[in-house]
């Protein structure tokens, strides 16, 4: 199989210079014992250059978003070209908070993913359902449509990581059970196999993002189709090191 475990830390709209320095020190001093893990942290735009310059080299940085096309008269936006120019390798796109709060549609997210990839960025592409959608039994309908909007715009999945984030488990303290996470991940992989290709299904990493903590990480990581995590609040805390080290479960 050979999918390298992937752990992303989404700092969201948090941090001061002092807090960011403290988080970076914790990451730099932390003992990462897992050898089979790719780690990325995503600070707010204003801290990206500082974090990139001061963080240990084995931890990469990601932007939390980028614009859907080349720069220009788009006040408040940051282009993929700017991120590439700064040497920022990754970007998170389609996060549920942007979909819900800013009205980003599936098609808009698909366009963003395609454009970012075309500029040489690697993409953490987010999909996920709300509590109402889960209770209505439409989880796979929702995440399939979100994934299809991306698949319709790209042909090369090499630099794409899919983050399944059940919206009902973000910032709520609720976590999908390992069985619930595995079920959706397995279904997503089957969707890729049927609608894209068996090779893409086998090689694309599908990570889980829904209130992951140091306490829940190992059991989630043990699921065969969970290839890592996109971590929110816990990525600001020392326990993020424990979450990174959950990668060891895959080689145990």
Catalytic residue among 38, 81, 104, 165: 165
Catalytic residue among 81, 95, 97, 129: 95
Reported confidence tier of residue 1, pLDDT bands at 50, 70, 90: low
User: Is residue 185 among the annotated active site residues?
Assistant: no
Alpha helix ranges (H) inside 30-177: 48-54, 80-85, 96-102, 106-118, 131-135, 139-151
pLDDT at 171 (0 to 100): 76
Query: Is pLDDT at 173 greater than 80 in this prediction?
Result: no
Distance CA 133, CA 77 (A): 31
Centre a 10 Å sphere on the Cβ of residue 219 and count the other Cβ atoms it contains: 15
* Rounded (to 5) percent helix, strand, coil in the chain: 45, 15, 40
Reported confidence tier of residue 170, pLDDT bands at 50, 70, 90: confident
Query: Is pLDDT at 175 greater than 90 in this prediction?
Result: no
Alpha helix ranges (H) inside the chain: 17-29, 48-54, 80-85, 96-102, 106-118, 131-135, 139-151, 178-195, 198-203, 214-221, 240-245, 248-251
- The predicted-structure confidence for 188-235, as pLDDT tens digits, reads as follows 999 999 999 999 999 999 999 988 999 999 999 999 999 999 999 999
User: Is residue 202 among the annotated active site residues?
Assistant: no
pTM: 0.97
Please report the domains of the chain, with CATH numbers, ordered by start residue. Answer: 7-12+37-177+192-235+245-251 (3.20.20.70)
């Amino acid at each position: 199989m050979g999918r390298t475990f992937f752990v992303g830390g989404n700092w969201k709209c948090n941090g001061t210079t002092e807090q960011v320095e403290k988080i970076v020190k914790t990451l730099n001093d932390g003992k990462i014992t897992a050898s089979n893990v790719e780690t990325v942290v995503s600070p707010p735009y204003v801290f990206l250059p500082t974090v990139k310059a001061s963080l240990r080299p084995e931890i990469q940085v990601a932007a939390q978003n980028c614009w859907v096309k080349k720069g220009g008269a788009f006040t408040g936006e940051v282009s993929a070209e700017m991120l590439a120019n700064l040497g920022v390798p990754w970007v998170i796109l389609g996060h549920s908070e942007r979909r819900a709060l800013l009205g980003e549609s599936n098609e808009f997210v698909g366009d963003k993913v395609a454009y970012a990839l075309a500029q040489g960025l690697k993409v953490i592409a987010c999909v996920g359902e709300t509590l109402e959608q889960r209770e209505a039994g439409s989880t796979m309908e929702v995440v399939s449509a979100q994934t299809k909007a991306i698949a319709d715009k790209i042909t090369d999945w090499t630099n794409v990581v899919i983050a399944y984030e059940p919206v009902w488990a973000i910032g709520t303290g609720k976590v999908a059970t390992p069985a619930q996470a595995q079920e959706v991940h397995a279904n997503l992989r089957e969707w890729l196999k049927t609608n894209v290709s068996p090779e893409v299904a086998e090689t694309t990493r599908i990570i889980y993002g829904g209130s992951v903590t140091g306490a829940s990480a190992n059991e989630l990581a043990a699921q065969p189709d969970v290839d890592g995590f996109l971590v929110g609040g816990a990525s600001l805390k020392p326990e993020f090191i424990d979450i990174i080290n959950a990668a060891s479960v895959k080689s145990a």
